[in-house]
Amino acid sequence: MFRIREAIVVEGRYDKNTLAQMADTLILETGGFQLFKDPERMALLDRAARRRGLIVLTDSDGAGFVIRNRIKGMIPAQFLKHAYIPDMYGKERRKRKAGREGKLGVEGMPPDILEQALRRAGAVFLAGDSFPVGAVPPLVKADLFAAGLAGGVGSGERRSALLRRLDLPEHMSANALLAVLNGCYSRAEAEELLRHS
């Protein structure tokens, strides 16, 4: 597994699962074309891009390029990097038949191909342990519990209020919120947000 400074945006959850097995970074989903009618999700992508940079990694079919171009049109170019997977034909294991264009998507790519695509895009690969010497570890689920945002009476309502305040999608789970807090904010900024939630 390797660590990358930038956040990565992919189309769906299977793409995210594939990438999460090899890359330690914030991985966000577009939800396919749902992105087009979800300003909160686009705001989240914009925030991640401005905070740490954003790598767009969509499928190589026509739909993937439509989604990529939408992101490119909404987020300033200086915050974006584009990773492209090659045209490889076949079908993913979980599917009964290949997609309309017959190409494998991100979820069907071998790990070495995905790593090459990220390197060609200019991803910043970080060396060493998950927490460099002197670095503060990220928030964990217990921090959300202590702030009353997970696992307790009324935690869902408090979490929803924080999500609204941060312009994040209202249906984000506690785990997704945790990933955003760790990926888009410093530990001190995230703790401040939790104190005022």
What is the largest distance, in Å, between two alpha-carbon atoms of the chain? 50
pTM tops 0.85, yes or no: no
Q: Within 13 Å, how many C-alpha atoms sit on residue 150's CB side? A: 16
In whole angstroms, what is the distance from residue 45 CA to residue 155 CA? 25
> 49 is written with which tokens?
């891009």
Q: Render each residue's pLDDT in the chain as its tens digit; 197 residues.
A: 899 999 999 999 999 999 999 999 999 999 999 999 988 889 899 999 999 999 999 999 999 999 999 999 999 999 999 999 999 888 888 887 877 888 889 999 999 999 999 999 999 998 865 444 445 678 889 999 999 998 889 998 999 999 888 877 777 788 888 888 888 888 888 899 998 87
Q: Is the dihedral of CA 182, 187, 192, 194 positive or negative?
A: positive
